[in-house]
Structure 1
Amino acid sequence: MTTISEEAQDLIDSTLVYLSVYDTESSPWSFAMMVRDENEKTLERWQLLVEVFFRLLTADLLRSTHYVRHGEWAPWSPDSLDAPPKESIVELAVRLSQHNPYSNPADEAREDVDVWIGPLLYATPSAKALLAKYRIDDYDQMTPEFFREVEGMFDRSGVPWQHYPLIAVAPQGGEA
């Protein structure tokens, strides 16, 4: 049994399959916009996005084309074999937690919106190997065994799912 919630499993499924199987890159914002119902664009959904991306990046299942280093955007080469420093992953997640993807872009400064649309996420070779191991090549094929393995990767990476949230979202002005 896994402690990863069903909502988180759905987001992990859609993120890893889309980026791995279709071998593409996408912004965090595109995953935020997957919810169709305006009532689902909630503080809880925003928190889930931050937590899942933070854990997938920390467990080296995802990488980003840009990270935040000492408060500044820093590019990261998709060809790099080295994982980015954990501090940079934390800074990116904190930035995501400070800017609501569901707020009106006209209400925020351009650099605030860029945190959700600027960096592109892509699957690592580890993610692709994990999906191949479980013969996952489409959505909704992930099994309890797959999620137990992902949860173990989170645990070994120091971001166990039982500790939720690790990076709490910080709504500005009561937005949700």
Structure 2
Amino acid sequence: MVEGWAVQVAEVELSSTLPRRWAHTQGVAKRAAEVSQVLGQDAGLLAAAATLHDVGYAPRLAATGFHPLDGARFLRDEHEADERLVRLVANHSFALLEAEERGLREELASEFPLLEEPLLVDALVYCDMTTTPDGDRTTAEERVAEILSRYGDDSVVGRFIRRAAPEIFGAVGRVEAALAAQPR
């Protein structure tokens, strides 16, 4: 089962070296379970991507210092992971905008093209951006504010998150609308 494999990989890479990142990852995976009903057969793919989205932060994997790219390369090269999964990890939460800030946009875009699956991409944004660093539920607005306060307005991440905020809020809103439209 892909999700079980994803948990094993993420736990090995994050739990001992980055326990707070591991707590965030576990919270993002919980959000994925909550939105699975709107994804049908892609629910397992979302669960795996949610579990692995930050694996590139692991110190041994941080080749470029840009976690979406480092994580995607690790999953592709060391695990021969599913291409859709690798592309989701590489591009999670509007990573192309941050890649641009880091001078890595062309590298990311050519190596890991965006998936043309809007609800799946939005669902991963929703899971990531409604989860605190400690794994608790939050709003996208609070999460963006927390990221800005942690990194600062003039940092690479601060510039990226300010640019990405409207896209993040849009993605979260679309997932919330899809969830609200589900029969109870």
Q: Does the pair score TM above 0.5?
A: no
Which structure is higher in strand share? Answer: 1
TM-score, with length taken from structure 2 = 0.31
Which structure is higher in helix share? Answer: 2
TM-score, with length taken from structure 1 = 0.32
